[in-house]
């Protein structure tokens, strides 16, 4: 990943019901991608509203949230914006979740939100399609 790719202005939407996880993810991306606009949503419903008014380039998505699941939210976002790149960043690492992410063409990264796991998410987001 080049410095040029990181310095392009992009929008990242962090979707996670855990404020602590959102703070960790935000801190990583602010330090690695300072040109990016970062939005946060605590639920799938909130994410859909935010994405409708300000479509993000990239999304990190938790699976288990109150209301709409991360998979349901991701599917709706993909219908509205087929070019969106989504990383499923979750502690729900069962094979079923991995297969569901794969079927939606969503990259799967296991939590916790560490430097290594977030770097893996960033590498995927910036990889050629």
Read off the pLDDT of residues 17-73 as tens digits, 9 standing for 90 and up: 999 999 999 999 999 999 999 999 999 999 999 999 989 999 999 999 999 999 999
pLDDT number for residue 51: 95
Mean pLDDT of 102-118: 89
Q: Where are the domains of the chain?
A: 3-126
Question: What is the homologous superfamily of the domain 3-126 according to CATH?
Answer: Response regulator (3.40.50.2300)
Q: Is the pLDDT of residue 125 over 60?
A: yes
Q: What is the pTM of this model?
A: 0.91
Helix pair 115-126, 19-32: axis angle to 10 deg: 60
- Residue 12: the pLDDT is 97
Q: Which residues contact 72 (CB under 8 A, 6 or more apart)?
A: 44
Q: Please, are residues 40 and 25 in contact by the beta-carbon 8 Å criterion?
A: no
Q: What is the largest CA-CA distance in the chain?
A: 38
Assess whether pLDDT exceeds 70 at residue 1.
Answer: no
């Amino acid at each position: 990943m080049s410095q040029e790719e990181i310095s392009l202005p992009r929008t990242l939407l962090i979707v996670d019901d855990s404020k602590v996880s959102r703070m960790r993810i935000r801190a990583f991306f602010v330090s690695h991608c300072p040109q990016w606009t970062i939005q946060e949503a605590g639920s799938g419903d909130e994410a859909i509203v935010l994405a409708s008014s300000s479509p993000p380039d990239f999304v990190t998505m938790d699976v288990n949230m109150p209301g709409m699941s991360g998979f349901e939210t991701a599917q709706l976002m993909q219908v509205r914006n087929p070019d969106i790149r989504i990383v499923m960043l979750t502690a729900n690492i069962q094979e079923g979740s991995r297969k569901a992410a794969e079927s939606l063409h969503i990259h799967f990264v296991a939590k916790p939100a560490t430097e290594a796991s977030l770097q893996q998410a960033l590498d995927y987001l910036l990889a050629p399609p």
